[in-house]
Amino acid sequence: MNNVSIYHNPRCSKSRQTLALLEENNCSIEVIEYLKTPLSTAVLEDILSKLNVEPRAMMRTKEAEYKEQGLAEPSLTTAQLIQAMVDTPKLIERPIVLANNKAAIGRPPESVLAIL
């Protein structure tokens, strides 16, 4: 049985589909509702490292907050983008699944199967 963490938003259909897929695969799941329990800088840095992506790759760039905060500005540093996700968790792409010291974004939900 796999121990899996999912950064979950129950209002998001992809997040719910990914959670259901993990349940179907008999995973032992820790559900973290990141809008209620915001992620720290260290946790976000760890997830980015496991995903091997730049911060914008795990940000919801179509959210109004992304535009309002000017986050498309190329001169912003990694630290500034991570801080924006700490301050505004809604900007974080969802769901994110951690398993076996790896991470995957559940878009599409089946993409998380590769790390189980």
Quote the pTM value. Answer: 0.94
pLDDT tier at 115, thresholds 50, 70, 90: very high
Per-residue model confidence as pLDDT tens digits over 38-58? 999 999 999 999 999 999 999
Give the residue from 41, 47, 36, 53 showing the smallest Cα distance to 80. 41
Catalytic residue among 2, 6, 8, 12: 12
Residue 27 among the catalytic residues: no
Could you tell me which residues come within 8 angstroms of residue 115 by beta carbon, excluding any fewer than 6 positions away?
Answer: 97, 98, 99, 100, 102, 103, 104
How many alpha carbons lie under 13 Å from residue 16 in its C-beta half-sphere? 4
Is residue 1 pLDDT above 70, yes or no?
no
* Domains annotated on the chain, with CATH: 3-115 (3.40.30.10)
